[in-house]
Chain A
Amino acid sequence: MRERLITRRQALLGGVCLCCMPSLLRSAQERNSPLRTQEIAPGIHIRRGAHEIATADNHDAIANLGFIVGRQAVAVFDPGGSLFDGERLRRRIREITSLPIRYVVMSHVHPDHILGAAAFLPDEPTFVGHARLPDALAQRGDYYRERVAEVLGEEAVGSIVQPTMLVESRARIDLGERILELFAHPIAHTNNDLTAFDPQTRTLFASDLLFVERVPSLDGSLKGWLEQLPVLISSGAERAVPGHGPASVEPEKAVVKLRTYLERLLNETRRAIAEGVDIEDAPDKVALDERDKWTLFDEYHGHNVVQAFKELEWE
């Protein structure tokens, strides 16, 4: 991906906001161009998401996503954060292969990962999700769609696509001489996390069970998530594609940093509850030593503390 980075100092040069106008022009050009992806292992192409919150400028292209090319078919693992993001991914797939896109795996309910599914409707693929994804989409799909449409504009956001194949615990999909193993996890990052493993290259598509660089966001169960970390390692993966962070990471190293954050969140929230700290004051007290280790900490950490608090106060 062509990274559009600029320092705050550069942006502020001249004391005016330089960011808004040119972005509109750039936006239109970009919409019609394929995504930049990186082939992290033979036949596995990943687009690295930006460590940003969703904006009109980034089309909600903030999560890692990609595709796996088999002998007969292509599987998408996370179709993108918006219709635009999904369409650009689809264009990229067509640059690389003309094989049919037979599977679109939706790793969990969060819009930055799966709102792009509508871009693949013309391919009539099997949309694969966790057995609890339909429920989660029923509760939140419209809400997410509306919120993202508010930021990106109505035309940038596709319709909500329901999975057509549900995974209760494990499943396999066949791309032609390439099997992709799917795992439906118990409640962790959300209550509908699905990961995939490609035995051929020993690549784990961990999605948001693994955050690297960007602060994790908790929307399921803190204790549940900690229990899933050993599962990620025991898959025997040589490399993992995190939901946010570099396109490919060494699983054990990445898990250690994530575990440190989650354990701090657990221990310090427990301590705050024991000390009688109120839920509204806990975000200013819990796990602040992690602040310098993650991007977007201020955007998500407070919410994580609230989630942890309401889970742990019932212990």
Chain B
Amino acid sequence: MKRIVLMALACICSSAALAQGLDDEAAREARWTQLKQAIFPDRAMRDGADVLALEAPARALDAALVPLAITTTSVEPIKTVHLIIDNNPGPLAGRFHFGEAADPSTLKVRMRVNTYTSIHAVAENSAGELFVVEKFVKAAGGCSAPAGNHDPDALAEIGRMKLKLPSGIAFGKPVQAQLMIRHPNFNGMQMNQITRHYTPAHFIKTIDITYEDKNVLRVESDIALSTDPVITFGFVPQAPGHLKVVVHDSKDNRFEQSFEVPQPSVLSMQ
């Protein structure tokens, strides 16, 4: 049995969304123009459809954990991907710098999204050229509200990392790895109604990943990484060795862990 109220909501929503959409198109454009100038002052930026793609859910299931995937197919090597979540309190959500041992073709991250917003991924190649793609995501509350219920756990295990590697690594070929980091990534935006104080911000500022001392990926992040961030990235190991991860957070904590990349046949390590 269907209930009439669900349909009523559908009516209200669609007309409201419609009305908002007309206003917002221009507002979104203006917001991006402003952000672009602030982040990349006076630099030319081209449509990046041929260079990179951004995958994002049209509607987020969980605004505190919005999965984004950036794939690049550039002839000229991509040096950096800049991720801008336009309507977040800190719009520049992350900078991902690829090193000599990186495979920049696929990057996946989980971000907090505070409200309906455009998300821009800007790829910068080694010649310093900028290419942009855009997605619109419907999500609400990822920053200012629901810190997860697992916060005590996350704090207890802060800095713990896991690395997942595919089976059958072929040396000299790109490998996709998934790095998981236990960190609450408190963004300082939740107010305690009793004390009227905000939960102090405590978030990851940088993640440096190297393979046998060669740079793979440097992440400069902000409050927009989800709690317990998970990053999927590519690297090219030339021989068995160690992938080293160093994390610095806003309280000057340093977490370091090293993962063995052995001869093939090991699935994952902790």
Contact = CB atoms under 8 A, between A and B. Distances in A.
B9 interface: yes
B145 A55 contact: no
B110 interface: yes
A220 B180 contact: no
B140 interface: yes
Interface stretch (A112-120, A176-184, A301-309): A301-309
B62 A138 contact: no
Contacts of B166: 276
B222 interface: no
Contacts of A283: 61
B7 A19 contact: yes
A313 B149 contact: no
Contacts of A41: none
A57 B8 contact: yes
Interface in B43-102: 57, 61-62, 65, 67
Nearest to B197: A138
Interface in A267-299: 276, 278-280, 283
A143 B146 CA distance: 8
The dominant DSSP class at the A interface is loop
The dominant DSSP class at the B interface is loop
A215 B155 CA distance: 31
Contact of A52 (B6, B110, B228, B230): B6
13 contacts: A7-B2, A19-B4, A51-B3, A53-B6, A56-B12, A137-B193, A139-B145, A140-B146, A142-B193, A147-B140, A278-B232, A311-B150, A313-B180
Interface of A: 4-8, 11, 17-20, 23, 50-53, 55-58, 134-144, 147, 160, 162, 187, 190-191, 219-221, 276, 278-280, 283, 302-303, 305-307, 310-311, 313-314
Given A20-B12, A278-B67, 4 more contacts: A56-B12, A142-B191, A219-B149, A310-B148
